[in-house]
């Protein structure tokens, strides 16, 4: 501005040197300087007004605070286990004669799965059968004689004892014959045929693995920190990462009574119907357990919470002197879950908490709420 004034004066002097005397020039310069000073003041006022009128308000989005329900969940990983699973073994030693099933085959309870060789037992049964027939005839004859007072009592008792002993022997052999059959203990699917025909089987040996997928249980370990918050019957939301979008709400059926000293956890179990057999054993599950609820909570997005040396704060939009301005407010926060945080104090229902644009404002910044 001083440069412009100097140039104007130079032109005035140059123009007047040819037409005016020194005194007239001096007066003319003074007059022009006054005009220039008034123009500069007017320009300065206009510029200030222009700057004031063109200050942009910061656009923000807000959340109107009101009481609403808030639920907090803990998440733990669980594993699916079958409620009916059996590694089937024979009750007696023997060579496998026939395997009647294949892997993947469905069987009913009591259905014959495997036969062991039974020739020795069957031969023994035939021998005992012959001896038993003779023993019964002998006992019958001896009984008739004894009833007619013929013969001694000891002969009668010996015949009776021999017959009864052979009958018990026959029952034992028949039981052994039954033990050579491996039958399904429940309805299920043949998961694995472990031994082959011709191999030797014995009690405790793994011959067939049978599973039933109709009902399963979800087992999980939970930190002892939550022991007081979890009870039998509490509803748990179960998800399976292998099946996106699949959710099931299941009550807790069992809460463990012992804390594992190695990882400081206790176990919980949830029984689940699986009639469509979609859930497979040992599949990973995620359990969402509700450990805290508040029906009248003030909730803000967790991302807007900031922290300085004094604590956590948010910005709210509040009218001050007729204009909407941002204000920094310190808050006490509670639980957080899925990007939502419960605010215990510092704000009130009706406050407008800035949820977008909060990084562009400070206390006193004029703001404009946009949709």
Question: pTM of this prediction?
Answer: 0.59
- Section 291-320 average pLDDT: 92
- Section 330-337 average pLDDT: 93
> Max Cα separation, the chain?
186
Taking only the tens place, the pLDDT of each residue in 154-208 is 777 777 788 777 778 778 767 666 777 888 999 999 999 998 888 888 888 889 9
CATH architecture of residue range(s) 74-81+213-292: Beta Barrel (2.40)
Domain 58-69+295-369 has CATH 2.40.420.20: yes
Report residue 363: phi and psi, to 5°: -60, 125
Instruction: Point out which residues pair with 299 in neighbouring strands.
Output: 342
Q: How confident is the model at residue 7 (pLDDT cuts 50, 70, 90)?
A: very low
Domains of the chain by residue range: 2-49, 58-69+295-369, 74-81+213-292, 88-201
CA of 143: how far to CAs of 129, 131, 165, 196, 224, in Å? 21, 18, 17, 52, 76
- How far apart CA 291 and CA 71 sit, in angstroms, is 8
pLDDT at residue 6, rounded to an integer:
44
pLDDT at residue 20, rounded to an integer:
63
Between residues 282 and 35, the one the model is more confident about: 282
CATH placement of domain 88-201: 2.40.50.100
Confidence check: pLDDT of 248 > 70: yes
Is 74-81+213-292 the same fold as 58-69+295-369?
no
């Amino acid at each position: 501005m001083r440069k412009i004034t100097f140039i104007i004066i130079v032109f005035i002097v140059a123009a007047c040197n040819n037409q005016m005397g020194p005194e007239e020039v001096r007066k003319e310069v003074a007059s022009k300087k006054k005009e220039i000073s008034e123009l500069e003041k007017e320009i300065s006022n206009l510029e200030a007004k222009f700057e004031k009128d063109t200050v942009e308000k910061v656009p923000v989005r807000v959340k109107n605070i009101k009481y609403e329900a808030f639920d907090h969940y803990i998440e733990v990983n669980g594993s699916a286990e079958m409620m009916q699973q059996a590694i089937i073994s024979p009750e007696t030693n023997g060579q496998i004669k026939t395997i009647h099933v294949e892997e993947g085959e469905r069987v009913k309870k009591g259905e014959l799965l495997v036969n062991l060789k039974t020739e020795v037992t069957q031969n023994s049964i035939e021998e005992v059968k012959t001896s038993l027939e003779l023993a019964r005839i002998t006992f019958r004859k001896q009984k008739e004689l004894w009833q007619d007072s013929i013969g001694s009592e000891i002969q009668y008792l010996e015949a009776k004892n021999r017959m009864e002993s052979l009958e018990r022997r026959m029952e034992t052999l028949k039981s052994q014959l039954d033990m050579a059959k491996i039958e399904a203990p429940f309805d299920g699917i043949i998961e694995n045929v472990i031994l082959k025909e011709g191999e030797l089987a014995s009690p405790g040996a793994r011959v067939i693995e049978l599973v039933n997928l109709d009902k399963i249980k979800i087992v999980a370990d939970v930190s002892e920190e939550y022991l007081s918050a979890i009870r039998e019957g509490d509803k748990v939301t179960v998800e399976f990462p292998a099946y996106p979008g699949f959710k099931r709400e299941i009550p807790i059926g069992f809460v463990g009574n012992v804390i594992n000293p190695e990882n400081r956890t206790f176990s919980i179990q949830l029984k689940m119907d699986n009639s469509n057999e979609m859930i497979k054993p040992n599949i990973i599950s995620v359990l969402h357990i509700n450990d805290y609820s508040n029906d009248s909570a003030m909730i803000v997005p967790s991302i807007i919470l900031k922290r300085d040396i004094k604590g956590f704060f948010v910005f709210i939009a509040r009218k001050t002197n007729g204009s909407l301005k941002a204000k920094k407010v310190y808050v006490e926060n509670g639980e957080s879950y899925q990007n939502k945080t419960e605010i215990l104090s510092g704000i009130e229902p009706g406050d407008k908490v800035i949820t977008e644009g909060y990084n562009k404002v400070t206390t006193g910044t004029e703001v404009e709420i946009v949709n």
